[in-house]
Amino acid sequence: MPLNYFLILAAFLFCTGAYGVLARRNSVLVLMSVELMLNAVNLNLVAFSTHMHKVAGQVFALFVITIAAAEVGVGLAIVLLIYRNTKSPDLDRVEQLKG
Amino acid sequence: MWEQEVAFWIIAVAMAGAAIGVVRSNNIVHAALFLVVVLAGSAAQYILLVAEFVAWVQVLIYIGAIVVLFLFGVMLTRAPMREERGKLDNNQRLAGAVVSLFLFGVLVVFLVDAFGNDKIKFDDSLVHLGSTQNVGNEIFRTYVIPFEVVSMLLLAALVGAVVLARRD
């Protein structure tokens, strides 16, 4: 089975996530797109782990999953703060630093 | 070997469609459910790649915990269930599409150039490679210090989330 199948699928997921981060206004949806990108990276790591018969890639995928969980926890706390301060979950309402 | 390729293509098409659903849906809850399809699809791909432990961790942590957190986020920000078209997007949709298509093109060209001839060889030793025993041995022998660092990071994230979200 060609290794590229998995790599190109992961590249597609990553680019979809990048589009979501750029084009979404709602902060929860931006976090979901970030998860898509992290998931694409995991797919790459596991595919290379199987290809090279080394378990290190799977261990790194586990670390990425853990850090994604931590990131979502802190990210949602920040989203909650944004919602509390601007009364809206939209990211373009966060403009206090705009000159 | 062809059964694996058929399974790969079915799952890959479902994942790609659901990924587009995540970034295009006009309903936040639908986007979260599309995200479940993508995450379950990648767990299935891990099973195809004989990485069973990572696959089950993916199901438990991503689908079990992270998606629930997202739904809590949707609930706490009082997102309307139904939005009119484009309300959830900002006005950089065209630029975002150009950037991501360009990125995808560049990635595909380089991946085909670099790994075009590589084939994954499946054999019985892979069953041991992805087993819980082998992954656990590797984590607690070679990667024990990063593992402890990750536990500190999780503690810091927990305390940080509590401090940020506390109301006073």
**What DSSP character marks residue A88?**
S
pLDDT at B106 over 90: yes
Q: Is residue A63 part of a domain?
A: yes
Query: Nearest Cβ partner of B88 from A25, A35, A46?
Result: A25
Q: Indicate the range of A7-16, A82-91, B13-22 predicted with least confidence.
A: A82-91
Per-residue pLDDT, A86 = 85
Percent residues over pLDDT 90 in chain B: 64
Residues A10, A37 contacting (CB under 8 angstroms): no
Per-residue pLDDT, B18 = 95
Residues A62, B57 contacting (CB under 8 angstroms): yes
Q: Give A23: exposed, middle or buried? Use CB within 10 Å, 0-12, 13-18, 19+.
A: buried
pTM of the entire predicted model = 0.92
Q: Is residue A92 part of a domain?
A: no
Average pLDDT of chain B? 90
Q: Which of B131, B24, B12, B5 is nearest to A23 (CA)?
A: B24
pLDDT at B85 over 80: no
| A33-80 confidence digits (pLDDT tens) | 999 999 999 999 999 999 999 999 999 999 999 999 999 999 999 888
Q: Do B73 and A43 touch (CB under 8 A)?
A: no
Residues A37, A21 contacting (CB under 8 angstroms): yes
| B7-23 confidence digits (pLDDT tens) | 999 999 999 999 999 99
pLDDT band at B82 (very low <50, low <70, confident <90, very high): low
Q: Do B4 and A1 touch (CB under 8 A)?
A: yes
We report the CATH number of the domain holding residue A48 as: 1.10.287.3510
B22 touches chain A (CB under 8 A): yes
Q: Is residue A98 part of a domain?
A: no
Higher-confidence residue of A94 and B158: namely B158
pLDDT band at B138 (very low <50, low <70, confident <90, very high): very high
Per-residue pLDDT, A49 = 93
Q: Nearest CA of chain B to the CA of A43: how many Å?
A: 7
Per-residue pLDDT, B84 = 67
- Alpha carbon distance B155, A83 (integer Å): 25
pLDDT at A5 over 80: yes
Other CB atoms within 10 A of residue B150 CB = 17
- Domain of A60? 3-87
Q: Is residue A99 part of a domain?
A: no
Number of domains in chain A: 1
Q: Which of residues 81-140 of B touch A (CB under 8 A)?
A: 87-90, 92-93, 95-97, 99-101, 103-104, 107-108, 111-112, 115-116, 118-120, 122, 125-126, 129-130, 134-135, 138-139
Percent residues over pLDDT 70 in chain A: 99
Per-residue pLDDT, B53 = 93
ipTM of the complex: 0.92
Q: Nearest CA of chain A to the CA of B32: how many Å?
A: 8
pLDDT at B121 over 90: no
Q: Which of A13, A8, A4, A60 is nearest to B120 (CA)?
A: A4
Q: Is residue A77 part of a domain?
A: yes
Q: Looking at beta carbons, which residues of chain B come within 8 Å of A71?
A: 157
Q: Do B93 and A63 touch (CB under 8 A)?
A: no
What is the average pLDDT across A81-92?
85
Higher-confidence residue of B102 and A25: namely B102
Higher-confidence residue of B80 and B91: namely B91
Q: Do B53 and A14 touch (CB under 8 A)?
A: no
Q: Do B54 and A83 touch (CB under 8 A)?
A: no
pLDDT at B89 over 90: no
What is the average pLDDT across A6-29?
93
Fold of B2-91: Four Helix Bundle (Hemerythrin (Met), subunit A) (1.20.120)
Q: Which residue has the tokens 């290809």?
A: A51
